[in-house]
Structure 1
Amino acid sequence: MDDEIIEVVDDGGVVTGTAPRAVIRSRNLWHRTAFVIVRSSAGDVLVHRRALTKPLAPGWWDLGFGGACDVGENWHDAAARELWEEAGIRTPLHHLTAYRWDGKETRETGHLYETASDGPFTHPADEVAESRFVSTDGLGDFIDQHDVLDASLQLIVPFLMRPPKRLEAPA
């Protein structure tokens, strides 16, 4: 996975070249990402704990599924692919917002999506250690009691504090 080639972008999101994932991480280069919030039909949020083998924030909790866009891949397709790879579901995605994240360990420009599903979910062991639904009312307590990625707290939490838009879990 560290030898996977990813597009490097400037801080405005314009592609400037490519580099192996390991180089992007070690130099904290800007790259394109896409993430998806998964809600149940009741509006609860599917949170997941990152696998202990992940190079970035192993064992920390995340409020969205996603990752780097493949070379030439658009954000929507990247979000759908990452959702399939990390949660084992294919569901319609609703675009929420574009974002920039200038973090200490990762710098990303991307898009955030939302979907609805009650599962079942399948998680590859090298990506996700566990997952569970958390109600929006219980989200504050969950965050207080667990290590949650800063990007999730800053980028995703604001979208969880409002009702989901036009989402229905497939029957």
Structure 2
Amino acid sequence: MTGTSTTKADRPARTYRTGPVTRVLRWVSVLATIAITAWLLIAYPSLPETVATHFGSAGEADDWGPKWSLLVIAGVMVLLSLPLAAISTRPRGFNYPVEITESNAQTMYREGERLMVWTLLGMQVLYLGIAWSVILGGGGALLVLGIAGLIGASAVGIVRMVRAAR
């Protein structure tokens, strides 16, 4: 191999060990996906036929729809979260803002994995906020925190990758 890789298949193999914080956050996110989904399914029969389906910037409900829409949200979150957790363990195949080389591969892979795991965590906070708002009311702070977490994970992750490539 020459020092630069042109395709994902030609990239150097992953050799670093995932850090304990990243491993724990990945598992917390997976368990949160399962727990929040279970909570929604358990609460589902007792919910009214019309539930909040959209929330304003302050977290208050501003649109309503049929309660079955919660099952769609739960399905989407499971279908996004669990594969994202699995994919996060394979950073060699990610798209990166810089070319992956022998000299930067392990650092870039680590930062890519962290970006995916923190994104996954932000998704779970948002999912919890949705469930909390619909089932108990008043989950606006979690909704805002989840959105901020998603934006922050993306911004910090990209900045860390660009800096790591220097």
* Shorter-chain TM-score range: under 0.3
- TM-score w.r.t. structure 2 length? 0.24
Q: Greater helix percent: which structure?
A: 2
Q: Greater strand percent: which structure?
A: 1
Larger radius of gyration: 2
